[in-house]
């Protein structure tokens, strides 16, 4: 949904990649400046949609898989190393570029090291993450 909605706005080949995450970071800042997150219902919806997209970018670009940990969806690179894309979106909404998602996305290979695959093999579609 994010790709379908934001591709026409971004004027680029918006997809699961670093450039698109950088564009989304700037878009979130424009939404912040416009007061789009002041309504709690709107904020919750956008955090959910953007967090899902950011997490899927992690899966598509670095490997890992969606899991639920203590009631929160995250991307796991192994049993103990996880990234929380929904929390990162919320932090950027709260703190601006000091907590931007582009920097978070760029450092994943450094933080998770050998657990990250930079040449991710073809995976099941994201909507089938619960199927074995």
pLDDT in tens, 69-121: 999 999 999 999 999 999 999 999 999 999 999 999 999 999 998 888 875 54
Give residue limits of the domains in the chain. 2-115
Of residues 36 and 127, more confidence is placed in: 36
Q: What is the pLDDT of residues 35-62, one digit of tens each?
A: 999 999 999 999 999 999 999 999 999 9
* Beta strand segments in 34-132, E: 65-69, 72-76, 82-83
- Write the CB contacts of 74 (distance below 8 Å, at least 6 apart in sequence): 55, 66, 67, 68, 82, 83, 84, 85, 86
Which pLDDT score, from 0 to 100, does residue 127 have? 52
């Amino acid at each position: 949904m994010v790709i379908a909605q934001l591709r026409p706005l971004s004027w680029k080949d918006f997809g699961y990649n670093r450039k698109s995450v950088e564009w989304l970071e700037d878009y979130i800042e424009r939404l912040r400046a416009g007061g789009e997150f002041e309504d709690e219902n709107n904020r919750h919806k956008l955090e959910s949609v953007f967090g899902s997209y950011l997490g899927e970018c992690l899966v598509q670009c670095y490997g890992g898989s969606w899991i639920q940990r203590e009631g929160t969806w995250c991307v796991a690179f192994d049993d103990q190393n996880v990234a929380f894309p929904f929390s990162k979106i919320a932090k950027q909404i709260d703190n601006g570029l000091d907590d931007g998602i582009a920097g978070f996305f760029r450092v994943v290979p450094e933080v998770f090291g050998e657990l990250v695959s930079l040449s991710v093999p073809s995976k099941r579609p994201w909507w089938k993450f619960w199927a074995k």
